Amino acid sequence: MSFSISEDLLRATGLSETELAQEVAVMLFEKNKLTLAQASRLAGMSRMQFQHLLASRQIAVHYDEQDLEEDLQTLRKLGRL
C-alpha cells in the first residue's frame, strides 16, 4: 500500500519527502507500532543509520523477538548462519 502527500502539504511541513518519511518512521517506532527493521525501511535508511538517528534524539532502541527473528532470517539469506 502506498499513499501520497500533496506538494502543498509537504511544503507546509518544511520537510523534504525523505525527512518526512524519517519523521513518520521515528514516531511509529517510538510508539511501538513498527519494529526497528520496519521503521528503518520506512525511513529509507539502514538499521545502523536509523539507530544513529534515534540516538541523536535520545530515543531508546527496542529490540524484541521479532527483531531478532528478522535479523536471523537476513543472516540465513546471506549465508552467514
Are 23 and 15 in contact, with CB atoms under 8 Å apart? yes
The predicted pLDDT at position 71 comes to 85
The predicted pLDDT at position 68 comes to 87
The predicted pLDDT at position 52 comes to 96
Q: How far apart are CA 54 and CA 52, in angstroms?
A: 5
pLDDT tens for the chain, 81 residues long, are 788 899 999 999 999 999 999 999 999 999 999 988 899 999 999 999 999 999 999 999 877 788 788 889 989 999 988
The predicted pLDDT at position 25 comes to 97
The predicted pLDDT at position 2 comes to 83
Torsion of the alpha carbons at 18, 22, 25 and 27, rounded to the nearest 10: -130
Predicted model pTM: 0.74
The predicted pLDDT at position 16 comes to 95
DSSP string, 38-65: HHHHHHTS-HHHHHHHHHHTT-PPP--H
**And the C-alpha cell for 20?**
518526512
